[in-house]
Amino acid sequence: PATRLRVPEADDPAGTVEFRDLAYGPRREVLARECGDFLVRRSDGVVAYQLAVVVDDALMGVTQVVRGRDLLGSCARQIYLGRLLSHPAPQYGHVPLLVAPDGRRLSKRDRDLDLGVLRERGVAPERIVGALAAAAGLV
């Protein structure tokens, strides 16, 4: 069977996670309201993503995490797990997702950002670097 971590009740301060995202600023989440009890081990016995990344980051001494905006909702759970394991939370920064001109999210599965495919399509390296710099707010 799957294993869930029981989070404190909404009125228990231990279940409130506050952090500052490097891109989105101050965040405050009450776990009982935002996500409730969450998986730490799947029914097939595999450690769930939330716990795996916290342990992995701690073992590698990660101090900063930059990832897509779609994972911002996982952040409070990971900080909470880190607290329970006595590991300091890294700084988190969540960046906007890259999307195609039609608004569709770009994906590895569809090889949207595969440099070989982009090269075959005739996309110049300068255009790729420029697009990434613009998306990151560097230009």
78 and 48 in a common domain: yes
Between CA 117 and CA 65 the distance in angstroms is 28
- Are residue 9 and residue 60 in the same domain, yes or no? yes
Task: Specify whether 12 is catalytic.
Answer: no
Structural domains in the chain (count):
2
- 0.75 cut: is pTM over it? yes
Tokens, residue 55: 């342990």
Same domain, 103 and 69: no
Q: How many residues does the chain have?
A: 139
Nearest CA to 98 out of 110, 111, 112 is that of: 112
Q: How confident is the prediction along the chain (139 residues), in pLDDT tens digits per residue?
A: 999 999 999 999 999 999 999 999 999 999 999 999 999 999 999 999 999 999 999 999 999 999 989 999 999 999 999 999 999 999 999 988 878 778 888 877 877 777 888 888 898 989 988 988 887 778 8
115 in the same domain as 58? no
Q: Which of 43, 108, 120, 121 is catalytic?
A: 108
Statement to judge: residues 105 and 48 lie in one domain = no
Same domain, 82 and 112: no
Same domain, 23 and 64: yes
Strands 91-95 and 64-68: what pairing? parallel
Contact assessment for residue 48 and residue 40, using Cβ atoms and an 8 Å cutoff: yes
